[in-house]
Amino acid sequence: MVAIRDRSESKNSEHHSIEEEYDRRAALFENSHDPIVEYEFDGETAIIKAVNGAFEDVFGYSAEEVVDRAADDVLVPTEKYAEYRSFLQKLLQHERVEAEVRRQTITGPREFLFRGIRFEADDSSLGGYAIYMDITERKERERKQREAKEHFEKIFEHANDAIVIFDPSRDTFKECNVQACDLLGYSREEFLDLAPSDVYSYDPPRFLELVDEVLDEGTGWSDEFGCSTSTGGILPTEISASRIEIDGRPHVLALVRDISDRIEHEREIRQRSTAMDATTDGMAILDADGKYVYVNRAHAEMYGYADPAELVGESWQQLYDGAEIQRIETDIEPIIKRRGRWRGEATGQHRDGSTFPQELVLTELEDNGWVYAVRDITDRKIIERKLEILNEASRELVTAETTGTITRRSLEAVDRVLGFDISCVRLFDSETNTLEPIAMTPGAEALIDSCPAFDLEATLAGHAYRRGETVSTEVDEDGSRSNGTYRASLHLSLGEYGTLTIFSRANIRFEELDIHRAELLAAAIRAALERDEREKVLRRNERELRQQRDQLDTLNQINSLIEELIHRLVGATTREEINQIICDRLVASDFYESAWVGTTDVASENITPQTGAGVDDGYLEALATMPLSYIENGIVARAFQTGEFQVLRQYQVTNPGLNETIEDGTLPPEEVEAVAAIPLKYDERIYGVLVVNATCEDAFSRTAQTGFEVLGDTIGFAIYAVLNRDLLLSDSVVELEFEVTDPRCVPVLFSQRLGCRCQLKQTAPLGDGKFLSYLRLEGASADDALEVAESTDLVESGRIVSEHDSEILLELIQAESVAQTLMEVGASVRTVVADDGEGRLVAEAPQTANVREIVETFRVIHPESNLLAKREVDHPVKTVAEFRDDLEDRLTDKQIAAIESAYASGYFDWPRKNTATELAATLGISAPTLHQHLRHAERKLLETFINGV
């Protein structure tokens, strides 16, 4: 059985469904807000078959323009072609495509979200839909958002101010820039770990109030807000904050600015403002319209306004009259515009209409306003006028020809310049040592007559004169000192010349300005007196020049006299001859009245006159009985004590009449009597004093004094030479033997300390007041000897030269030498030997020597000593031939040959002309043998020369 179903109904139903689907697609295609392109594949090319209305609206192409055209030719920009081909490949492979693309519209490229759909048509052709959602505006918004974000990040990171973002509800920081870290001294990690309440802990209530304001109002601002730094300090800041949303939560973005510099600047401004308010100069600030915006009190009061506020908002022109306003606008303002500043004098106008001179400084500000500084110079103008009068008076004083004219004009100037009519000039009188009134006004003369107490004011004038300063006094409040006539006195120094005294009347006192002008007038008077004095000096110049020529001639003659004396001393053979030559030649000159030479003993306080010229014998005998300090007012004693030239001048003035003067205005000349004491010394030894008397002022001038000092040293050396020559050339000498137990005698000291025998071998001067001595010690050790040398202040240093058996040769450096001291008085030490603290010293002196002086000199050195014996012994003088004979007797023939050959060949020259090797070869001996002969010969030569053996 075959069942047959009618399928026509089924087909109709399916066809109807297809039509409905097509209708739905067509409706969707046409009514879609997004552009849709229907295409059909022709191989791998998509051909546009239809477009909807949205496409025409968005792309700007009509359907007729694009249908049956390849999509890539119409819609795809060249740079996107490769991307478009990749989309087609995916669609051909049944893949769904969705991507953001750029497509060409009639107005240019636009951005779209592209979705590609493939389908197969009934005719088995391949096709699809391209749906474009226009996202151009969204992409633009995203781009702008990215740019805004990038811009914000740049601002955030590179802003000069610190920027922080924090969550107020969680009290945490969300973000901070580098500047915020640097500002508070934290690293970024440290900063983000902090709580905002920790950073703004200085004033928590104020911080919370700012946060609430930002959250409520959207923005907030706070000035001088303290932030805690990493070091614990509080940094003043300015905070500007805004509310922002992050992840749906409200946050605060805060810009934090360091205002430390601004606060300091404001403090300085406040200080300057305070200074401007406190200054005595008028200070004001004008705006560009010339109206006051700031006025200090001094400025307002200067113009007669009690309150600075009265001038604020007013024009500067109300403080000047019409002429001055025109001058400022015409002459001064252009200068201010050009230079930015003007300074000069102007005439201001008080509130009451009176005018006053002023010094004005105007400085232009950047906003075209002015800084306006003014000073009232009324007092200065008065002073300038007074100074003009003072200058006129000074010129009149300059033309005055005499002291009297100067003093009279001075009193007239006091009245004209200062307005005081009671004054006088006192000049110093050197004869009476007082200030004598030279010129007085009638008022001063009446005051002297009516007020005996006026004389007491002379003490104040004397004070001003002595100290060279101004002295002013006022009467007591009860008027006890005024006597009803004057209130105060003013005493001004006129330098070395005297004083100017001014009195004020009972109802007037001296102001500081009066005193200043009086001092200027006193200076002018002093200058006039100085000029008068200089003119007197000029009138004396010719006489003084003549006197100077005479003085020079005198000095030349004195110098020639001293040179002659020095030459004549060379031939003197005795001390007496030296003294007589000096005295006779000095008195024979035209300059010196008398001269004498005296000596003094070591222990005596009297002088022993030796010889003299121009004096009576009785005078010299009287000198021997007088204490040394009484002779010539003590200058002789000072010459002995100091070893320096001394001079005494006594002046006598011949003045027959008190007012008598020479024609050039000078006083009569003075007569002088001068006495000089010249020490006669050599080294540190003073052999006597030459006393010279003269009546010539130039006889002992500074130049002549130098010559006499040289003469004194030359005479001292001549005496020293004579004493030593007598000792060397005398056929017989006086031998003095002393017993010495004084431990300050070095040989006695060593023998006492060491219990040995000590002999002084030799003493030689080293210079600088030091002496080299050699001691021979028998029975002592070297260590003990050095220990003694180190322990005594008599020895500066010591060393062992040689040590043989029980005998030591010790070398010492000493600051004193008895041999040198005795030689200065004409004696020489022959031997010094000491045993166990007891010594014997033998000295020799010529027959002409002063034995008493020698003994006293020795006892001064060694008080613990006695003169045991004084003997006359023969002291034959050897001739040169006898000296050579004695030397040849002591030398061998080989020693003579060696030393004579060495001398003749230049061996002893420097540099050597012959060496020891060459000389030894010439003599036919070895070099060591030559040195041995030379050493023996040199030793015997020195022994013969030094010891005379």
DSSP-based three-state secondary structure for 118: strand
Above 60 in pLDDT, residue 664?
Answer: no
Q: What single string gives the DSSP state of each residue in 354-380?
A: -EEEEEEEEEE-TTS-EEEEEEE-HHH
Gap between the Cα atoms of 876 and 880, Å rounded: 13
Gap between the Cα atoms of 885 and 944, Å rounded: 11
Kindly indicate the confidence band of residue 250, based on its pLDDT and cuts at 50, 70 and 90.
very high
Gap between the Cα atoms of 91 and 130, Å rounded: 11
Above 90 in pLDDT, residue 854?
Answer: no
Which pLDDT does position 457 carry in this prediction?
45
Is the peptide bond between 846 and the residue preceding it cis, with omega within 30 degrees of 0?
A: no
Nearest of 87, 94, 93 to residue 130 by alpha carbon? 87
H helices present in 673-817, as ranges: 702-729, 746-754, 782-791
- Is residue 771 within 8 A of residue 765, CB to CB? The reply is yes
Above 90 in pLDDT, residue 821?
Answer: no
pLDDT tens across 739-755, in order?
999 898 999 999 999 99
Above 60 in pLDDT, residue 476?
Answer: no
Taking every pair of Cα atoms in the chain, the longest distance, rounded to a whole number of angstroms, is: 211
Which pLDDT does position 25 carry in this prediction?
67
Gap between the Cα atoms of 211 and 6, Å rounded: 84
Gap between the Cα atoms of 276 and 295, Å rounded: 9
> How many CB atoms within 10 Å of residue 668?
13
Beta strands across the sheet bearing 608-613? 608-613, 592-599, 685-694, 670-682, 646-653
Which pLDDT does position 554 carry in this prediction?
65
Contacting residues for 507 by C-beta, under 8 A, at least 6 apart: 487
Nearest of 456, 299, 279 to residue 374 by alpha carbon? 299
Which comes out higher in pLDDT, residue 721 or 402?
402
* The two three-digit tokens of residue 935, written as one number: 């050493």
HSE of 878 in the Cβ direction (CA atoms, 13 Å)? 13
- Is residue 855 within 8 A of residue 913, CB to CB? The reply is no
Q: Cα 549 to the chain's mean position, in Å? A: 48
Of all residues in the chain, what percent carry a pLDDT higher than 90? 7
Mean pLDDT of the chain: 80
Of all residues in the chain, what percent carry a pLDDT higher than 70? 84
Q: How many angstroms separate the first and last alpha carbons of the chain?
A: 195
Above 90 in pLDDT, residue 454?
Answer: no
Q: Worst-scoring range by mean pLDDT, 1-15, 543-557, 789-803?
A: 1-15
pLDDT tens across 485-541, in order?
566 788 888 888 888 888 887 667 788 878 888 888 888 888 888 888 888 777 777
- Is residue 159 within 8 A of residue 177, CB to CB? The reply is yes
Gap between the Cα atoms of 859 and 592, Å rounded: 39
* The two three-digit tokens of residue 570, written as one number: 């060379």
Instruction: Give the single-character DSSP code of 318.
Output: G
Contacting residues for 766 by C-beta, under 8 A, at least 6 apart: 772, 813
| 594-608 mean pLDDT | 77
Q: Which amino acid is at 601?
A: D
Which comes out higher in pLDDT, residue 384 or 634?
634
- Is residue 99 within 8 A of residue 132, CB to CB? The reply is no
> Which uninterrupted H or E stretch holds 547?
helix 512-569
Q: Worst-scoring range by mean pLDDT, 290-294, 547-551, 639-643, 720-724?
A: 547-551
Which pLDDT does position 856 carry in this prediction?
86
- Is residue 166 within 8 A of residue 172, CB to CB? The reply is yes
- Is residue 693 within 8 A of residue 678, CB to CB? The reply is no
Nearest of 796, 754, 808, 740 to residue 772 by alpha carbon? 796
- Is residue 52 within 8 A of residue 99, CB to CB? The reply is no
According to DSSP, the β-strands at 471-474 and 838-846 are unpaired
Which comes out higher in pLDDT, residue 255 or 507?
255
Q: Worst-scoring range by mean pLDDT, 51-65, 266-280, 306-320, 414-428?
A: 266-280
Contacting residues for 925 by C-beta, under 8 A, at least 6 apart: 933
* The two three-digit tokens of residue 155, written as one number: 């601002």
Which pLDDT does position 895 carry in this prediction?
81
Gap between the Cα atoms of 832 and 776, Å rounded: 11
Kindly indicate the confidence band of residue 16, based on its pLDDT and cuts at 50, 70 and 90.
low
Gap between the Cα atoms of 167 and 184, Å rounded: 19
CA distances in angstroms from 115 to 47, 97, 99, 129, 398, listed in the order given = 17, 6, 7, 8, 120
Kindly indicate the confidence band of residue 262, based on its pLDDT and cuts at 50, 70 and 90.
confident
Which pLDDT does position 922 carry in this prediction?
76
> Which uninterrupted H or E stretch holds 613?
strand 608-613
Q: Which amino acid is at 33?
A: H
Angle (CA) 815 816 822, round 5° = 155
* The two three-digit tokens of residue 42, written as one number: 């022709």
Gap between the Cα atoms of 881 and 286, Å rounded: 118
pLDDT tens across 39-56, in order?
888 888 889 889 998 888
- Phi and psi of 230, rounded to 5°? -65, -25
Nearest of 798, 805, 739, 806 to residue 774 by alpha carbon? 798
Gap between the Cα atoms of 253 and 161, Å rounded: 12
> Which uninterrupted H or E stretch holds 423?
strand 422-429
Nearest of 783, 836, 772, 790 to residue 808 by alpha carbon? 783
- Is residue 194 within 8 A of residue 187, CB to CB? The reply is no
Kindly indicate the confidence band of residue 931, based on its pLDDT and cuts at 50, 70 and 90.
confident
- Three-state secondary structure readout of 388-400: HHHHHHHHHHHHC
> How many CB atoms within 10 Å of residue 740?
24
Gap between the Cα atoms of 174 and 245, Å rounded: 12
> Which uninterrupted H or E stretch holds 273?
helix 260-278
Kindly indicate the confidence band of residue 480, based on its pLDDT and cuts at 50, 70 and 90.
very low
Give the highest mean pLDDT range of 326-330, 549-553, 647-651, 919-923: 326-330
Q: Where are the beta strands (DSSP E) in 179-263?
A: 219-228, 234-246, 249-258
CA distances in angstroms from 849 to 324, 726, 799, 833, 844, listed in the order given = 107, 8, 37, 24, 10
Which pLDDT does position 671 carry in this prediction?
65
| 9-18 mean pLDDT | 57
Nearest of 219, 176, 213 to residue 194 by alpha carbon? 176
CA distances in angstroms from 756 to 743, 745, 786, 837, listed in the order given = 14, 15, 14, 9
> How many CB atoms within 10 Å of residue 144?
11
Above 90 in pLDDT, residue 308?
Answer: no
- Is residue 406 within 8 A of residue 488, CB to CB? The reply is no
pLDDT tens across 153-191, in order?
676 777 788 889 999 888 898 888 888 888 889 998 988
pLDDT tens across 537-577, in order?
777 776 667 656 656 666 677 677 777 777 777 667 787 88
Above 60 in pLDDT, residue 772?
Answer: yes
737 has which bridge partners? 842, 869
pLDDT tens across 182-216, in order?
888 999 898 889 898 888 877 888 888 888 988 88
Which pLDDT does position 835 carry in this prediction?
92
